[in-house]
Chains A and B, each alone.
Chain A
Amino acid sequence: MSRSPALSVEGACVALGARLVLRDVTFALEPGEFCALIGSNGSGKTTLLRAILGFVPLAAGEIRLEGAAGAPDPIGYVPQKLALDPALPLRARDVVALGLDGARLGISWPSKARNAEVDRMLRAVGAEGFAEQRIGLLSGGQQQRVLVAHALVRRPRLLLLDEPLANLDVRSTAEIVALLRRLSREYGAAVLLSAHDMNPLLSAMDRIVYLANGAAVAGRPEEVVRTEVLSSLYGYHVDVVRVHGRVVVVAAEAGEQIHEAVARDPVHTASVP
Chain B
Amino acid sequence: MFAAFMLHAWLVATMVAIVGGAVGFFVVARRAAFAAHALPLGAFPGAAAASLLGVNELLGLALFSGVGVIAITQLQRGERREVASALWLAFALALGVLLLSLSGAYAQSLYGLLFGEVLGISRTQVFGIALLSALTLALLALLARPLLLESLSGDLAAAAFGRARSLEGAFLLIVALSTAMAVPVVGALLVFSLMVGPASAARAYTNRPWRALLLSVLLSMAVVWSAIALTYLTDWPVGFFVGALSAMCYVAGRRRSLLAGAGS
CA distance A186 to B149 in the complex (A): 27
Instruction: Say whether, besides A86-B262, A90-B152, A102-B148, A107 and B158 are in contact (CB < 8 Å).
Output: no
Q: Does the CB pair A77–B155 fall under 8 Å?
A: yes
How far in angstroms is the closest Cβ of chain B from A38? 22
Residues of chain B at the chain A interface (Cβ within 8 Å): 29, 31, 141-146, 148-149, 151-153, 155-164, 200, 202-203, 206-209, 211-212, 257, 261-262, 264
In the complex, what residue of chain B is closest to A86 when comparing beta carbons? B262
Q: Does the CB pair B142–A105 fall under 8 Å?
A: yes
Q: Does the CB pair A91–B207 fall under 8 Å?
A: yes
CA distance A134 to B262 in the complex (A): 8
How far in angstroms is the closest Cβ of chain A from B142? 5
Residues of chain A at the chain B interface (Cβ within 8 Å): 53-56, 72, 74-77, 79, 82, 84-91, 94-95, 98-99, 101-108, 132-135, 137, 147, 150
How far in angstroms is the closest Cβ of chain B from A100? 10
Instruction: Across the A-B interface, give the 4 residue pairs with the lowest CB-CB distance, nearest first.
Output: A102-B149, A77-B159, A89-B212, A79-B155
Instruction: Say whether, besides A102-B146, A102-B149, A89 and B206 are in contact (CB < 8 Å).
Output: yes
CA distance A74 to B257 in the complex (A): 37
In the complex, what residue of chain B is closest to A55 when comparing beta carbons? B164
Q: Does the CB pair A88–B151 fall under 8 Å?
A: yes
Q: Does the CB pair B145–A108 fall under 8 Å?
A: yes
Q: Does the CB pair B261–A137 fall under 8 Å?
A: yes
What total count of A-B pairs have CB within 8 Å? 102
CA distance A60 to B36 in the complex (A): 42
How far in angstroms is the closest Cβ of chain A from B164? 4
- Provide the main secondary structure of the chain B interface: helix
Chain B residues, Cβ within 8 Å of A82: 153, 155-156
Apart from A89-B202, A90-B209, A103-B149: 13 A-B pairs, beta carbons within 8 A: A53-B158, A55-B155, A75-B159, A79-B153, A84-B153, A87-B257, A89-B212, A98-B152, A102-B149, A103-B145, A135-B152, A137-B261, A147-B156
Instruction: Say whether, besides A53-B158, A103-B161, A98 and B262 are in contact (CB < 8 Å).
Output: no
How far in angstroms is the closest Cβ of chain B from A96? 11
- Provide the main secondary structure of the chain A interface: loop
CA distance A54 to B152 in the complex (A): 20
Chain A residues, Cβ within 8 Å of B142: 105-106
CA distance A77 to B149 in the complex (A): 13
Q: Does the CB pair A89–B209 fall under 8 Å?
A: yes
How far in angstroms is the closest Cβ of chain A from B204? 8
Chain B residues, Cβ within 8 Å of A90: 148, 152, 207, 209
CA distance A53 to B264 in the complex (A): 36
Chain A residues, Cβ within 8 Å of B151: 85, 88
In the complex, what residue of chain A is closest to B158 when comparing beta carbons? A55
In the complex, what residue of chain B is closest to A80 when comparing beta carbons? B155
Q: Does the CB pair B261–A102 fall under 8 Å?
A: no
In the complex, what residue of chain A is closest to B147 when comparing beta carbons? A102
Chain B residues, Cβ within 8 Å of A56: 164
Instruction: Say whether, besides A55-B158, A55-B164, A91-B207, A105 and B143 are in contact (CB < 8 Å).
Output: yes
Q: Does the CB pair A89–B207 fall under 8 Å?
A: yes
- Pick the contact of A133 from B144, B152, B207 — CB < 8 Å? B207
Instruction: Say whether, besides A91-B208, A107-B141, A84 and B159 are in contact (CB < 8 Å).
Output: no
Chain A residues, Cβ within 8 Å of B153: 79, 82, 84
Q: Does the CB pair B164–A95 fall under 8 Å?
A: no
How far in angstroms is the closest Cβ of chain A from B86? 22
Chain B residues, Cβ within 8 Å of A94: 208-209
In the complex, what residue of chain B is closest to A91 when comparing beta carbons? B207
- Pick the contact of A105 from B146, B162, B262 — CB < 8 Å? B146
Instruction: Say whether, besides A55-B158, A88-B152, A89-B206, A137 and B145 are in contact (CB < 8 Å).
Output: no
Q: Does the CB pair B156–A150 fall under 8 Å?
A: yes
